[in-house]
Amino acid sequence: MSRIIAISNPKGGVGKTTTTINLAASLAIAEKNVLIIDLDPSGAVSSGVGLQRENIRAGIFELFSGAVRLWDTIHPLNFLSIDLIPSNVYTTEQDTRLAEMAKNRIRLKRQLNGLVSVGKMNYDYVLIDTPPMLNDLTIGALLAADSVLVPLQCGYFALKALDRLMEIVERIKKSANPTLEMEGILLNFYEKGTRASLKSATLAWEIFDDLVFKTIIPKNAAVGYAAFQHKPLALVDITAPASKAYLALAEEIIRKTPEPAFLPPPENQVEVHFAV
């Protein structure tokens, strides 16, 4: 059984896409098979791993429209054991149409269950990169996920933005997805020796306690350089401090991942509606 992790934070600029790419690579280096779902219409993950528009057969637009089966949208990457379902939303009209289709919030969960039912879920981890907002795409990811990983930029305003997300996670857990867990809160862009980063980390530990990962991702210029190479940092400079941190994060997640238990796919899914 795969572990499905939604990587989410309604605040932009917290390193959500960077976390998705580099965590996927670190899990793959640890000999895990990984599927990334780029659920952000901006397509940052898709471009961040160098997948060109002309090479995309189908992506989340066709997936949500029902035009193709989920396995028809999977693209193997050119490095490590990572596959990607890309974002392929290029026009305002497509963006509007995707938002309408995403109102069926159970669609992604159904598609992933379908992948299980035909024996094609050959992944240890599925990472879902969500939009930087609490819209229907994000809610759909939370309904489909086993857990939520929250990248948290070390700063006051980033901490304040977590309140709404935590509220939504609790509501979903109490209603439509009772097995949803917090994978953890990841302190990101940490600048050692600065009072702002130290204060942010201290507050996060005080408020969220053991929900905060032990691993902290340092601010590291090498991450930006790797992005220009359209590769995970580990494939550009595995000795960089942030690269070592992402590898430690992957190890921490692997250690806490529960042993798989067989559960038959649910036969009857229902529409889920509640106000955000």
24 versus 192: the higher-pLDDT residue is: 24
| CA pair distance 106, 145, nearest whole angstrom | 11
pTM of the model: 0.90
Find, among 35, 91, 96, the residue nearest to 64 by Cα. Answer: 96
Domains and CATH numbers, the chain: 3-256 (3.40.50.300)
Q: What is the per-residue pLDDT across 93-134, written as a single tens digit (0 to 9) for each?
A: 999 999 999 999 999 999 999 888 777 789 999 999 999 999
| CA pair distance 106, 144, nearest whole angstrom | 7
Question: pLDDT > 90: what percent of the chain?
Answer: 70
What is the DSSP annotation of 93-105? HHHHHHHHHTTST
Assess whether pLDDT exceeds 90 at residue 12: no
Assess whether pLDDT exceeds 90 at residue 7: yes
Residue 274: predicted pLDDT: 39
Beta strand ranges found along 58-200 (DSSP E): 75-76, 82-85, 125-129, 147-153, 181-190
Assess whether pLDDT exceeds 60 at residue 273: no
226 versus 260: the higher-pLDDT residue is: 226
